[in-house]
Amino acid sequence: MSVFRIKERRLAFQRVRASALHCCVPLCTVSSRYNREVSFHVFPVDAAVRAEWMQKIRRDDFNPTKNTRVCSRHFKQADFNVTAGGLRRLKKGAVPVYFSWNGYELPAPRPSVWERRPRAESPAPESDSDSEMETEIAPPDHDYSVVPQTGARASNLADENEALRRQVRELQQQLEVLKLRQRFGIERLSASDEDVRFYTRFASYRSFMVFWNLIEPAVTHKMVRITSAKTASASISTVHHPTTKLRPIDEFLLFLMYLSVGFPPRDLAERFSIHRTTASRIISTWTHFLYCLLGSQRLWIPPEVVRAHLPVEFAAFSDTQVILDCTEIFCQSPSSLLLQSEVFSTYKSHTTFKALIGMAPHGAVTFVSGLYAGSMSDREIFKQSGIVKLLKPGMAIMVDKGFVVDNLAPCKVYRPAFLSKKQQMSREDVRQTQSIARLRVHVERCIRRVKENKLFDKEIPLSICGNIDELFSVACFLVNYQNGPLVKAWATQQ
């Protein structure tokens, strides 16, 4: 009968639960497996008490779930109520206080079965009364049972402890520096305007922060985040989204690096220590947000404001309202032959997207059209872009020779003269052509600023063609904030 009882006890001791509970406190290895003396408690529902628990536990990037537990060894005995059935329940508002970093040590492990059982005393060795032998006390094999000496020894230990604490502080500082270097953020670029210019196209860190201060209120209250690759969230977050792993300013930096330097989402995900799909959603979110925010601001400048900031070089063309030109960006060739014929540009000998950009005489971008197929002519884009509605009879536009829009524009058109059937241009036509070409070149310099964004240096893949219209418009909008005047002399004139 005793054999069966022993076997039953052994089976009860070896019984393992289907899912053992573990304590979530760092450096605590207590689990519910083979343990009936320690209770495990879930995080409180009260937000204030829950926050105090998380602060006490000291775990970075920690988000407790319904299965997260804290063992009873971290609470005071007065924090528990024991039920009639012997269950231990926490009192309302109880907070863990005992941890390894505040001097708390776990109780000694339970003694083994051999140590708990009484042992029979071994018989004492027979002593020879006739022989008088001197016995020497053997020195201990280990020194852990020796009582430490006081005085000089204690002083040396204090010095060693202080040296170790100083070394720990130095190592912590080095660790913080390494974390800052590994974590890509705006703080990493704040000491170098050259780095800010390379990664964001903003002239300096100060100009970047000025622009950020302008859009930050809208980021906090009006941003609609894309939480899925197919659908956008319909709710407008009034606070920082709890699921975002980056700060809003670092998300803005990630978007600018995608646009300005042309880093793919996989590279950006590696730099910012996030998932690749998260990086793609951040890019889509900020593309749509900046397109709506900056596009809602008025680009078109009234004629009196344009005349007030007119450079001296435009004195002979003082009624010029806008300088227009078309630009093209390469795109991936579609598999459909019909689509290839529509987006193929004979001027570039490649499949392209085409847009019309307008610039005020003093250098500000005042008009951006949508992207059209590369096969479309400049005249047709001028007709469909909607700029005709903005032009008035008292204005004038300055265009290239390919813009034959005299019968479309309701205002005066400055364009280099054609030779037509003449063998030679007149002196007036030559002078006017040279003057117009010398002034019209500024719009090409403005377009070059847009194309300094490395995203447009390569073929636009078909996978982002749904966002390329918004991306190109945002790049044009940002030109007015990222750069200074086109000509340094214009800064003093204005």
How many helices and strands in the chain, by DSSP H and E? 16, 11
Query: What are residue 412's DSSP bridge partners?
Result: 396
Residue 85: its pLDDT value, please? Answer: 76
Residue 280: its pLDDT value, please? Answer: 92
Pull the structure tokens for residue 429: 């036509």
Task: Return the sign of the alpha-carbon dihedral for residues 421, 424, 426, 431.
Answer: positive
Confirm if 70 and 31 have CB atoms less than 8 A apart. no
Report the alpha-carbon distance of residue 443 to residue 361 in Å, rounded: 9
Residue 242: its pLDDT value, please? Answer: 47
Pull the structure tokens for residue 264: 């793919």
Strands (E), 212-319: none
Centre a 10 Å sphere on the Cβ of residue 344 and count the other Cβ atoms it contains: 16
Confirm if 384 and 372 have CB atoms less than 8 A apart. yes
Q: Which of 19-40 are b and which e, b meaning 16 or more Cβ less than 10 Å from the residue's Cβ?
A: eebbbbbeebebbbeeeeebbb
Residue 8: its pLDDT value, please? Answer: 52
Task: Return the sign of the alpha-carbon dihedral for residues 279, 283, 285, 286.
Answer: positive
DSSP state of 19: S
Kindly give the confidence (pLDDT) of every residue in the chain, 494 residues in length, as a single tens digit, with 9 standing for 90 and above: 555 555 455 444 444 445 678 888 888 888 877 677 788 888 898 888 888 888 888 888 888 888 889 998 888 888 888 887 778 888 888 999 888 877 776 555 555 555 556 655 655 555 444 444 444 444 545 444 445 555 667 777 888 888 898 889 888 888 876 665 566 788 888 888 999 999 999 999 999 999 999 999 999 888 888 775 444 443 444 444 445 678 999 999 999 999 999 999 999 998 888 999 999 999 999 999 999 999 999 999 999 999 998 998 898 899 999 999 999 999 999 999 999 999 999 989 999 999 999 999 998 999 999 999 999 999 999 999 999 999 999 999 999 988 889 899 999 999 888 766 667 777 888 888 888 888 888 999 999 999 999 999 999 998 888 889 999 999 999 999 998 777 766 655 55
The set of residues, in sequence order, having a beta carbon less than 8 Å from that of 417 and lying 6+ positions away, is: 425, 429, 432, 433
Q: What structural domains does the chain harbor?
A: 2-102 (no CATH), 187-295 (no CATH), 303-493 (3.30.420.10)
Residues in the chain: 494
Confirm if 414 and 321 have CB atoms less than 8 A apart. no
The set of residues, in sequence order, having a beta carbon less than 8 Å from that of 459 and lying 6+ positions away, is: 330, 331, 332
DSSP states along 29-98: --BSTT-SS--EEPPPSSHHHHHHHHHHHT-TT----TT-BEEGGGS-GGGEEE-TTS-EEEPTT-----
Task: Return the sign of the alpha-carbon dihedral for residues 480, 484, 488, 494.
Answer: positive
Report the alpha-carbon distance of residue 408 to residue 356 in Å, rounded: 15
